[in-house]
Amino acid sequence: MLVACVGCSVHHHPVNAPGHIEPTEPPEKPTPGVVEEPGDPGEHMVLLTFGGLASVGVGYPKGQDKVLAYGLGPEYGVHIGERDVSHAMDGDLVLPKTAVGFNLGWTALANPGTGFGPLYLEGQYFDEGFWVAGGWAYDVDDRVHGPQGELGLGPLFLRVTHLLDDSTALTFGVVVKGYQNWVFSR
């Protein structure tokens, strides 16, 4: 995991976003003689992620007994996220509290199947370490395709891939990613 973090970097936008106040309106709860403290505006983030995944489990090829299933390959992503607190984690690991985005991956080494494994495109939702992803996988050399879904906690995930009229695989694995993060105060 440390090797992937070598590529991690954070870019803070040098100018804050416009404020979310209306100077012509009175404060929400005016109290004479008391200064109303401003709220923390939070941050918006745009992340480009890159890394790899490895998984192992059980596969069910059509018309055969269950087999050892495994997958190994790269994954890239684009995500948009938010934090409620500005600069809460200024340092090397600045991540959003919640994020949505897309992943493009290739399970290059995979079983069941022949030759190379499937490419996939999936949507992903992330919330404080828990994540869910779903999309479509296409195996070019086997010419099969089908849905794929994942549940994750941090770097660990449980994946189901069902290639229509070919096979189904249930695997448990780990994904390690680096990132480039652009941070904008709200």
pTM value > 0.75: yes
Domain membership of residue 3 (yes or no) is: no
Domain membership of residue 26 (yes or no) is: no
Higher pLDDT, 17 or 9: 9
Domain membership of residue 32 (yes or no) is: no
Domain membership of residue 15 (yes or no) is: no
Domain membership of residue 97 (yes or no) is: yes
Structural domain that includes position 141: 42-185
Q: Tokens at residue 110, please? A: 């995979």
Number of domains comprising the chain: 1
Domain membership of residue 30 (yes or no) is: no
Condensed to tens digits (0 to 9), the pLDDT of residues 170-184 reads: 999 999 999 998 888
pLDDT for residue 4: 47
Condensed to tens digits (0 to 9), the pLDDT of residues 32-57 reads: 777 766 667 788 899 999 999 999 99
Distance between CA 52 and CA 73 in Å, rounded? 6
Q: Which residue in 88, 74, 108 sits closest to 186, CA to CA?
A: 88
Higher pLDDT, 86 or 150: 150
Query: What are the beta bridge partners of residue 42?
Result: none
Domain membership of residue 164 (yes or no) is: yes
CB–CB of 86/94 below 8 Å?
Answer: no
Domain membership of residue 79 (yes or no) is: yes
Give the SS3 label for residue 152: strand
